[in-house]
Structure 1
């Protein structure tokens, strides 16, 4: 039985949120990272573009693999295999260095992603077993610069930051963060201490800080249009690959 979804403008734009030129850019990036046919075993039953569409649709809709199978005319086992093998190749590319004379401002924050796998999650303040995913964005373009490997959701943002590779990625860059990152060396709001109210200039600084830092919340809202980040059923490194891929999809959607 043939599948329903094909690499056509209607299906791509409806089920992935990408325009055709953006989807073609994604397929080119995956083709450069992954061989067209497996090194061993049988060849894929779907062409590369259809496999990329399958993974993107899965991240966008969070349908079960049994629901995905008839849409592409394959078995649920094939859907699982494609997601496991191709998902890591949709990951966000490393941040590119910019001109030294350009002042860069990045923003970091963490978001909680509900996860079924208890080995990578913990009971969190959203009253669910979740993981803490740290994300860095560019304040000007709102593109995702980097993401960290998710940690259990009860991990404080400051500890998640220190334990990740993000400090090395952000070295030499001005990075804004909220008060949860106090003591990390990032630019955080002025703290009001007991019986020591903030000065008017400090209040103005905090207001401007909140205005700029709100952009990362807008990015989280756009990323969570991909329902995989609202209830992730993947195990082990599956969430890490999903966050990286969704960040990549978000960047492509903004750039096209």
Structure 2
């Protein structure tokens, strides 16, 4: 069975070192994740429950497949994910330094709950997630509320709450955010060539903006973001939880 008491299981599923994982569990315990509750007590200690949620996000196994690996029933595994998933969610940064530069981009997460998803350019029912990172540290700062996958990024930027969360902080984006006031690459008009300084600016802009693509590449190693079976807010909490684990892995 998989257990958090064996350090070799922690990194493959959570992406954290045993020390980082221990700090996360301590923070969760202080936040009340292990508080005594009415009804049936948890069948696993908090460390095991945290690893179970991380393993589910990492592997996207069904409850029938996941539960025996931790020695619990399918219903118990489901309850653990529903309870602890929201508590692992990344909290948006409340204050940003004046010289902070952010990068925003949207990513599509294939989502089976058609009540929160819509067919998008990847031809699958998906949700659109606006992710904002710090250009310097590559830490995720904000993850907007998921929108229907056919919503374009310039509208999703505002409707997801990402715009309100970052305020007036300088934010870099690709060419899909016209009219938003974000820093975008210069566009070439038909029949014209961009002057050298604009070409140099676009090259620098592209190199910096690529950092958010690198973050997406790391986050998409979590298989739940390739085919999410969770319903309702489940996909949102999974995205926020993975963003938090990503940040913890970077900061040490």
The TM-score by the shorter chain falls in which range? over 0.9
Structure 1 contact 13–19 (Cα < 8 Å) conserved: yes
Alignment pair present for 1:143 and 2:139: yes
Query: What SS class does the counterpart of residue 197 from structure 2 fall into?
Result: helix
Query: What SS class does the counterpart of residue 107 from structure 2 fall into?
Result: strand
Aligned length: 252
- Go from structure 1 to structure 2 and tell me whether the alpha carbon gap of 1:63 and 1:32 turns closer, same or farther (over 3 Å shift): same
Query: How large is the Cα RMSD of the aligned pairs?
Result: 1.3
Question: What's 1:78 paired with?
Answer: 76
Alignment pair present for 1:217 and 2:213: yes
User: TM-score by structure 2 length?
Assistant: 0.96
Aligned pairs (5 A) from 1:62-77: 62-77=60-75
Alignment pair present for 1:208 and 2:211: no
Which residue of 160, 165, 171 maps to 1:164?
160
Question: What's 1:88 paired with?
Answer: 86
Which residue of 229, 249, 252 maps to 2:248?
252
* Offset at residue 99 of structure 1 (A): 4.3
Structure 2 contact 103–212 (Cα < 8 Å) conserved: yes
Gap runs ≥5 in structure 2 = none
Aligned pairs (5 A) from 1:1-256: 3-100=1-98, 103-256=99-252
What do residues 118-163 of structure 1 show as CA deviations (whole Å, max 9, x unaligned)? 1111111112111111100001110000101111111000110011
Gap runs ≥5 in structure 1 = none
